[in-house]
């Protein structure tokens, strides 16, 4: 069985289109710091909501949020889930000190507790 495909292209349209400019940004010269969190929260809370709260509390210093574990079952209350995530912090203008990272991480935990009733898993 052979198939025949026919197409008509308007090459003038392609030739008149301008290519969008590619923009480059310099790499950040300051190090990224990662901190992990394990939280217990209601099972119906979506990852997007967690991410939104973390970004809002961490402002521009939160560069990446990566979820690496979601667990329900033994040792987690019914209707709850344990969520583990890694938060990457990076300043654009300085190397972050441990005290600054700790304060920011604490603000994020406080926001998660307040807005989502999440609790740090122990």
- Whether this prediction's pTM lies above 0.85 is answered by no
Backbone phi, psi, residue 7, to 5° = -140, 145
| Tens digit of each residue's pLDDT (9 = 90 or more) over 21-52 | 888 888 999 999 999 999 999 999 999 999 99
Backbone Cα Rg of the chain:
23
CATH of domain 30-120: 3.30.70.380
Token digits of residue 11: 């090459």
CA-based nearest residue to 33, from 89, 99, 98, 109: 89
> Could you tell me the pLDDT band of residue 14, with boundaries at 50, 70 and 90?
confident
- Report the percentage of the chain scoring pLDDT > 70: 99
């Amino acid at each position: 069985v052979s198939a025949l495909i026919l197409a008509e292209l308007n090459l003038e349209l392609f030739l008149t289109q301008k290519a969008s400019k590619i923009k480059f940004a310099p790499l950040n010269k300051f190090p990224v710091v990662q901190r992990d969190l394990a939280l217990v929260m209601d099972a119906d809370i979506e990852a997007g909501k967690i991410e939104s709260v973390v970004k809002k509390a961490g402002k521009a210093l939160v560069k990446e949020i990566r979820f690496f574990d979601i667990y329900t079952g033994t040792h987690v209350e019914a209707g709850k889930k344990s969520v583990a995530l890694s938060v990457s912090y990076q300043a654009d203008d300085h190397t972050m000190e441990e005290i600054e990272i700790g304060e920011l991480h604490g603000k994020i935990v406080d926001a998660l507790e307040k807005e989502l009733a999440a609790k740090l898993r122990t």
